[in-house]
A and B are shown apart, each in its own frame.
Chain A
């Protein structure tokens, strides 16, 4: 089943990102399926993080359209109308390339984590998770004025926010560290906390930049279980960049391979694993003859394998 073709959540069309003379991503198109775990892989410098930064609004793409539908389908005519209207969003449909980074999280509900963990190190674990619910609490505090005079509705909203945070802490097994500074946690715990913090913004799409980097095999297995539960229980689609192929192959529903800013393969983990171009990209094969050689090598190995 190829959900990314039938029920896409995000359509990336002809995305290009040029820095000065350097083209980091060129004419990249792919779809992220609703309810899928989609992996974006490729060698170092392939442009994966650039794609992430474009989707989450940290970069303005040079060219291209990023259309996201929070609940319904991405209808072509509705999308065309929105594109021509010059608006950033209409109803359920969002054009991410027109929106600022904080708007993308707040309105389109796309959340992200970072390759180098960006927790608020000097704030406690619980505070980190409360800050993530900033926009809801800001509304509840009537833009601070209601909070200043201690409105009961604000206090109720805060209690609710704390409860949600504690539920997540139980889920990632960090409840006993709730009052410790986030910077004091071990690396693996920080990774999980960052994911929980992103989840507390109620995302429909969670973008994870190398979530398994630096984790030991046990933590890696825990992460896999957590990501599955996010997909199945929270109904949040996941887009992840990952170098750990065992993680990618285990949990992904859909894999996209980038090399030098271009898409070289797109399909199920099985499709991608057997694609000679992917093998060539990862093994660093130089020219066409070598690709042909790699292809025949793969064919030979596939024949031998049961």
Chain B
């Protein structure tokens, strides 16, 4: 069906007018204070008109793109031709990840490398790990969890409180934090067992908020919004990263540099994330993992096959929470400071966005999504070039959420089921053929 120009122009004009209507109060009118502290209204007509024109143009382009996509010759939906690039890609990624800090260090020297390893390496890997943890609950078991940050908080506070109160070392606290988070995962699991879809999402959302609000208000326990500071730093299995006698650098005959600690943290989170990945991948091929996926596909059929759906859901919650707890306790040892501020809803939303963007259930997709989302945010801070275009007061990082939102909208149109949307079967007879996302359910049982 050909797209008539008149129709396209009409559609685009409607979108443009809508944008103008919205832009009028938001962009065109700006309240400010004058010299005498009186409220005045400035008008910025050019902004509003500019926005309307931009929307008009985008809508027009979008319509033609949509038309082109619908009318291009369709290839037969076939999974046969798809080659398995997954394994070599994963190995290459692994080598790059282990080489990354050394390459950066040799290129930029200890001072320049610090920022790259810390802001890009560690920050992204934390979210990769959180994404993988949440992927068990949302991607495999199909239980929509909007309060995942609660387990991250439980892990962080476990380490913070156990180390500052009882002086326990990080290596003892790490498994304890995982266990405590798993315990809270089961605790959350019980009330939501009977809930489905939206109701499940709301209760998990509330759970995340409850944990945060308790941490703010129970001052004797958690020191409230002031948080817990001077948490012991990470040690090299007992060796502190300090200058002078008995430190890591002295023992290994190196010149003391803060980069040692950061590199150690990098490898620590890399190993934790890889453990999460390996355990998840293995469990997916075990009866429990298949039961999670079956639960996502059809809960009633699961029950008819003698699968105890209560246990299946609880193990998914517990395991996902445990990895969240590990990540949380890593967060605490890296920052040396925790406060409820770090565990707001936006964190849960970011982790969930990573899982959805990556393609629910796909491990490599989640990793790519984490790199794009967290790395992208960091890259925005770097774009000082844009100041030359938009003027000195322009701070690209302020537009993070805008870019984020735009990215989400584009994804929903272009790839609604995430970057890697096909499902890899866990077992095969003759040939492993990926299952198209049209057939795979999203769950939220």
A122-B423, A178-B430, A198-B304 known; A137+B287 contact, CB < 8 A: yes
B307 and A102 contacting across the interface, CB-CB below 8 Å: yes
Question: Which of A119, A123, A134, A148 gathers most chain B CB within 10 Å?
Answer: A123
Interface string of B28-67 (1 = CB under 8 A from A): 0000000000000000000000000000000000000000
A253 CB within 8 Å of chain B: no
B438 vs chain A, min Cβ distance (A) = 8
CA distance A104 to B307 in the complex (A): 10
Task: Give residues 142-200 of A contacting B (CB, 8 Å).
Answer: 144, 147-148, 158, 162, 166, 175, 178-181, 183-184, 197-198
Task: Give residues 66-123 of A contacting B (CB, 8 Å).
Answer: 101-106, 111-114, 118-123
Contact of B283 among A124, A148, A201 (CB under 8 A): A148
A144 and B305 contacting across the interface, CB-CB below 8 Å: no
The total of interchain contacts (Cβ-Cβ below 8 angstroms) comes to: 134
Query: Can you name the residue of chain A whose Cβ is closest to the Cβ of B441?
Result: A122
Query: Can you name the residue of chain B whose Cβ is closest to the Cβ of A157?
Result: B287
A122-B423, A181-B436 known; A138+B287 contact, CB < 8 A: yes
B363 vs chain A, min Cβ distance (A) = 17
A130 CB within 8 Å of chain B: yes
B440 CB within 8 Å of chain A: yes
Question: Which of A101, A120, A198 gathers most chain B CB within 10 Å?
Answer: A120
A162 and B427 contacting across the interface, CB-CB below 8 Å: yes
CA distance A145 to B62 in the complex (A): 52
B435 and A123 contacting across the interface, CB-CB below 8 Å: yes
Contact of A179 among B282, B303, B307, B428 (CB under 8 A): B428
A122-B423, A181-B436 known; A144+B428 contact, CB < 8 A: no
A131 CB within 8 Å of chain B: yes
CA distance A297 to B202 in the complex (A): 63
B288 CB within 8 Å of chain A: yes
A138 and B432 contacting across the interface, CB-CB below 8 Å: no
CA distance A181 to B300 in the complex (A): 19
A54 CB within 8 Å of chain B: no
Interface residues on A, range: 35 or more
B308 vs chain A, min Cβ distance (A) = 5
A130-B290, A138-B287 known; A121+B297 contact, CB < 8 A: yes
- Residues from chain A with a CB closer than 8 A to the CB of B294 are 120, 123, 131, 134
- Residues from chain B with a CB closer than 8 A to the CB of A158 are 427
- Residues from chain A with a CB closer than 8 A to the CB of B440 are 121-122
CA distance A102 to B307 in the complex (A): 6
CA distance A184 to B77 in the complex (A): 11
Known: A124-B435, A180-B433. 14 other contacts (CB 8 A): A103-B306, A111-B304, A114-B300, A123-B435, A126-B425, A126-B429, A131-B302, A134-B306, A144-B288, A148-B286, A158-B427, A166-B429, A178-B430, A201-B306
B210 CB within 8 Å of chain A: no
Chain B residues with a Cβ under 8 A of chain A: 279, 282-283, 286-288, 290-291, 293-294, 296-298, 300-309, 423, 425-433, 435-436, 439-441
B290 vs chain A, min Cβ distance (A) = 5
B427 and A141 contacting across the interface, CB-CB below 8 Å: no
Contact of B293 among A120, A147, A175 (CB under 8 A): A120
A144 and B287 contacting across the interface, CB-CB below 8 Å: yes
Contact of A127 among B288, B290, B441 (CB under 8 A): B290
- Residues from chain B with a CB closer than 8 A to the CB of A183 are 439
A132 CB within 8 Å of chain B: yes
A179 and B286 contacting across the interface, CB-CB below 8 Å: no
Contact of A56 among B297, B304, B430 (CB under 8 A): B304
- Residues from chain A with a CB closer than 8 A to the CB of B433 are 124, 179-180
Contact of B304 among A118, A121, A162, A180 (CB under 8 A): A118
B193 vs chain A, min Cβ distance (A) = 13
CA distance A105 to B304 in the complex (A): 7
B428 and A119 contacting across the interface, CB-CB below 8 Å: no
A135 CB within 8 Å of chain B: yes
A179 and B439 contacting across the interface, CB-CB below 8 Å: no
Query: Can you name the residue of chain A whose Cβ is closest to the Cβ of B431?
Result: A179
A266 vs chain B, min Cβ distance (A) = 27
- Residues from chain B with a CB closer than 8 A to the CB of A127 are 290, 425-427
A130 and B282 contacting across the interface, CB-CB below 8 Å: no
The 7 closest A-B pairs by CB, nearest first: A122-B440, A105-B306, A106-B306, A120-B297, A178-B429, A183-B439, A118-B301
B371 vs chain A, min Cβ distance (A) = 27
A67 vs chain B, min Cβ distance (A) = 20
B291 vs chain A, min Cβ distance (A) = 6
A136 vs chain B, min Cβ distance (A) = 9
CA distance A106 to B301 in the complex (A): 13
- Residues from chain A with a CB closer than 8 A to the CB of B303 are 58, 101-102, 105
